[in-house]
Structures are given as structure tokens and as C-alpha cells.
A and B are shown apart, each in its own frame.
Chain A
Amino acid sequence: MPSYPLDLPRREVTASAIELSDIQGGVLRAYTMPAAAYLFLRIKDVAKACRLLERTLPKVMTAEPWTTPPTTAMNVALTYSGLARLGLPDDVLASFPEAFREGMAARAEHLGDRGPSSPDTWDVRDADVLVTVYATDSAGLDAALAEVMSQDLEDGVEPVYLQLALDRPSGQDQFGSADGLSQPALTGTGVEGRPGDGLPDGRGGWRDVAVGEVLLGYPDEDGSLPAAPLRPFDRNGTFVVVRKLHTDVAAFNRLLVAEDYPGGPELLAAKILGRWPDGTPLALSPERPDPAIAGDPSRVNNFSYGEDPQGLRCPVGSHVRRVNPRDSEGFFSGRLSNRHRIVRRGRAYGAPMEPGRTDDDGVERGLVFVSFQADIWRQFETIQSLWIEDGNPFCLGADKDPLVGGNDAPRSTMKIPGRPPYFVRPVPRLVTTRGGAYLYQPSMGALAYLASLA
């Protein structure tokens, strides 16, 4: 999902009480650079890899505020196999959570990554390290990447996979929709959230999400420090979920045309996503897009579902309502959705498809989904396996997310509430998992510690 459309003013930044210089950048505050390269590496020689990491440290971007936006940035994260390979003590390794230790591929069944999304088909699944490089454009990215690759790797690491990504200037995703507008407003980060970014405060307004929901070592929504690995990984670090998601835009376009949806194809697309292409939330404007809302940062995300329990405005099963239910029925004014928020920082890959085209143009395109959270199981995996790959929390039985769910069954259905309701069936598979990993993004101090291991 893009960070946000460029025509929306950026979120305001003020002073923060969090140890920003010890935290890697891009988590608490999004980079504005649309180009990114995801370089997956395998550790070949531990001592040489540690030397390389040591040399690289000064180039890793931290979360310290900038005065002029950077033109490039680089961050480093490791999988469990990477941490194990570097030789962390057994007790430290064992203190990492089970989901992270198992890795994403091993948990495919739980995540719904089966059939065409099965790890057997993945482009990338086993790696030790992920280096992510950001730049303002493709040329800048090539230069930054060349610099990283020209590093004397000394056989310390070898590249396993490289994925390039570039968000569209409009900020729209591959389906031509404005997803990615909603990011949790986190306490104490100095980044002011937009109304609606946070959590329902029970009084019709919003409050910030506890930063410990994303960053280890700080209080979370339960009021205590989140469970964390042993030192030095207990603070200023976070867990990363990366998923290469292939998007079948032609199939999406075909669906819009082929379904005889009474409201028309544009409305059908909006009902599937939960927003109009310009970002107008259906919850606020169910019949047409509204540029006055879409262009206003204080309104574009400022909505809740309490007044629309049946989903007549924004379907209960639409994508944005599933992945962030807010105060939807069954979530008790947000009390049962508050602990499942994630920060999303992904980028699109592959050239956009010609609008409206219904046949495959042979171009590989999709989204590199990246999320940050303190607890992979409670946050990412709950959204993926309970809210996307199932419908039961929303009283939708086994119906999956129409946009990103693993819809392979002939009876895959999306119910669009209305008078009368409309049933989309079959919902085709629009997104396929092509790779991914669970990683840990260490603090700067923890990176230095890792570099010192050998």
C-alpha cells in the first residue's frame, strides 16, 4: 500500500520522548521516498558478515527527525535463521516468539497461503537478512543500491533475492484504489496522527495507539511492556512482516465488468475496498466520491462504523473494514480491535496496468507488503488468518476478504448489504503470495551488538 497520496499534506512532526536515535527509521514515521529495493541476503561467513555489518552501521537510517527529507535511506532486519546463524546464545534465541522462530513459510497453513500462494511457489522464502534501501526515484534507487552492492561483501553474505518497488505518484495501489491511507497514530512519537488514525476513544473521538503496540520496550495497549526477547532485543526493536503479493488486476477489472451489480462497476469496486478510488471512505459518502473529504486530512480517515452496523454504507466484509474494524459490531467500541493494529510501510512493484484492461498483459505487478508490530501472532496473523482468510468475526461465516483473500472456491462469496443485498459469487482470487519472511528489526544498539558477535 502506498504511504499516502501526495496531494494530502504530510502528518505534522513535533518533539518525541522516545529514544529515536536508537530506533531504525521508517517505523514510527514513514519515509516519503516512493522507490524501494528489498535485498534478501544469506550469511555465508559469520565473521565476515559481522565485519560487514559493522561497516554498514553508520549508514543505517535512524528515527531521528530530519530537517530536510533524506533522498536515500537504508535499514536492516534479520530472520530467526539469520540471528541463529550469527551465533546468538540459545537462551536468547529461545526468547524470541514462536511465530517468528518458525518463520512465515512454516506457518503457511495458518495464514491461508495454500494453493497458488503456497510457499512451494514463492520467489523468496529462506533468507537471513533483509536490507531495504529507499530512494526518491528509480535512478536514485539504482545509485543507492549500487553503492550497497559494491560494498566489499568479502564473501560474508550473498544476495538471495532482490525485489524493486516503486509507488505511483498518485499513491493509488495496483487496483487503482487509494488504500494505505490509514496508519495508526502512535503515542509519543512526535508524529501527529490524522483524526481516525488512532483508536476509538469511546466518546466519538480518537486517541493515539500505545507505541508499545509497535515498538518493544514501551507500554502497549494492555498497559504493560509487551513480551519481548532478552536483551539487547527487548527495546527499540520491532517485528517485521514482509510479503510479496502479486495482484491480478485484469481479473479485478473483469469482475467489475462481468458482475451485473446494480450500482455499477465503480460502486462495486468501492464496495470491495471500502473507499472510492480517490480515498473517500464509503462510511462517509456511500454514493459517490467526494473530493472535499478525500483532500482533507482531517476527514479522509475520520470515520467509524458504529452508525452503520449492517454495512449498508460500507459493507461489513469490505477490505478496509475487515483489516481495521474500528468500532464495528462485535468489537465493543474498538476494545476488541485495539490490540490488532499494524504500521504498514510497503510499496507497489511492477508497472501499473492500463486502466480498465481485462486481459493479462504479462507484466508482473503487485505490492511488497511490509508491516511493523510488536507481536506478529496477535497483530499481523490475527488480521491475516481471522479477518482476511475468514469472515466469522464479522458474522460472515467463512467468507474471505474480497480484495486480498485466498478466494479459490467456486462458492467464494462477498455479500454487499443493501435493500436488497447483493451477492458477488464467485469472488476470484485477486492476490497471490509470492514470497515473504518474518524478521526482527533491531535497535541501533542491538545491531552493534550483533556486529560484535564474531
Chain B
Amino acid sequence: MSNRTGTAYALTTFARVQRHREDELEDYLAALPRGSASPLARIGVLHLSRLHLVRELVFQGPNQRHRDLLRHGHLVFTATFNGEPGDFLENLRTSVPECDEWWGRCVGYPGRDDRGAFAAWVRSLQVDTSLFQSPIPTTTVEEVREVTALRERVIDFAVAAQGLDAASLQARFRESF
């Protein structure tokens, strides 16, 4: 299934923005907190997410015979996470009320009260990913944190253990790990 690689899932969605609300939506997205303060940080299984508007299509130059001019702005929401999309959407619905702010400015958004309606609406926005690749297709966010922390501890120990005799080294290892 092209939306997946390993246990990772790539969700790609496009939602039509309500007329004349593109600027305020753009401003809202630009003002969202970043990093660990981002509303999306509340979803533990989420590796990456991007929210942005497509308001016009870039004209490629004189060899483009037809020019597509968009009538509306479209909100792109992409998410990369491990696990099932159904679980992810439920997590999104319950943990990220900010959905009401960005999808609330789009056409047809049913709100977050009804689990089924929310999930169905987001699914209706989905375009299947054609190709999805990663060098870490089965590593979860939690695992990334664990292995990173362990590596730090291993290096810390390696530094501290330099020059120790065998007995001290082993004793220290047993204390540290």
C-alpha cells in the first residue's frame, strides 16, 4: 500500500479554503508555536507534519501551454506517523483542538464532536501517496528518543572509562547500566 513504508504512514490531504479566508489562515499557521510547543507535539507517534496553503500554481514558463489558475486556496496537511491512520485521526481529533482553526476555515469541516464524521471528512481530503520512502521506516518517535539517549550514555561511559583497569571498568559498567 503506497501510503506506507515499514510501519510508517504518509497521510496527504488537500482541503478547499473558504473564500476570502486565505490570508487569515496563512497568518494563523505562521503564528503557530514551533518545536515542542507545537500543538502537533501532543501526538506521540507523529514524526513530521506540515500545514501550508497552495494559493496559486507556479507557472513553469513559456513552454507551459495551458495555465491552471486556481479558483480557491487549498490547505495542505501532511503527516508522517507510525501506526494506523484511524488511531492517528482519533488522536488528532481529541488532542489538537487547533484543527478547528485551520480546517474550520475550510469548506465542509464537520468539527470534532463526532468521531466518525471527523475521520470520514479528513479521509475525504486524502490523496493516496504514490511513493513513500524512509531510511527509518519502522522506528517510532519514542524509539528515536530511547536510542538517542542510550547512545549518549554509552559515549559518556566510554569517556569516563578511558584509562581504567579491567576490574574498575567492569565495576563501573555495572553501576552505570
Contact = CB atoms under 8 A, between A and B. Distances in A.
Direct contact of A and B (CB under 8 A): yes
Interface in A410-436: 411, 413, 421-423, 425
B162 A413 contact: no
Interface residues of A, number: 7
Contact of A260 (B155, B158, B163): B163
B159 interface: yes
Main secondary structure of the interface of A (DSSP, over half): loop
A421 B155 CA distance: 11
A413 B163 contact: no
Interface string A256-278: 00001000000000000000000
A422 B162 contact: yes
A260 B159 contact: no
Interface string B134-166: 000000000000000000000110110011000
B24 to A, nearest CB: 30
Contacts of A422: 162
Contacts of B156: 411
Most chain A CB neighbours (cut-off 10 Å) among B155, B156, B162: B162
Contacts of A423: 155, 158-159, 162
A95 to B, nearest CB: 23
A335 B163 CA distance: 40
Contacts of B162: 260, 422-423
A367 B135 CA distance: 42
Contacts of A411: 156
A411 B156 CA distance: 9
A413 to B, nearest CB: 7
Interface in A231-279: 260
A437 to B, nearest CB: 32
A375 B78 CA distance: 35
A260 B162 CA distance: 9
A422 B159 CA distance: 8
Interface string A378-419: 000000000000000000000000000000000101000000
A422 to B, nearest CB: 7
Contacts of A260: 162-163
Nearest to A424: B159
A426 to B, nearest CB: 9
B101 to A, nearest CB: 31
Contacts of B155: 413, 423
Contacts of A421: 158
B165 to A, nearest CB: 13
Nearest to A425: B159
A351 B95 CA distance: 64
A44 B86 CA distance: 69
Nearest to A423: B159
A411 B155 CA distance: 10
Nearest to B158: A423
A421 B158 CA distance: 9
B160 to A, nearest CB: 9
Contacts of B159: 413, 423, 425
A422 B163 CA distance: 10
A260 B163 CA distance: 8
B168 to A, nearest CB: 15
B148 to A, nearest CB: 10
Nearest to B148: A397
A425 B162 CA distance: 11
A423 B161 CA distance: 10
Contacts of A413: 155, 159
A248 to B, nearest CB: 22
12 contacts: A260-B162, A260-B163, A411-B156, A413-B155, A413-B159, A421-B158, A422-B162, A423-B155, A423-B158, A423-B159, A423-B162, A425-B159
* 10 residue pairs, one from A and one from B, having the closest CB atoms: A423-B159, A425-B159, A260-B163, A423-B158, A423-B162, A422-B162, A423-B155, A413-B155, A260-B162, A413-B159
Given A422-B162, A423-B159, 4 more contacts: A260-B162, A411-B156, A413-B159, A423-B155
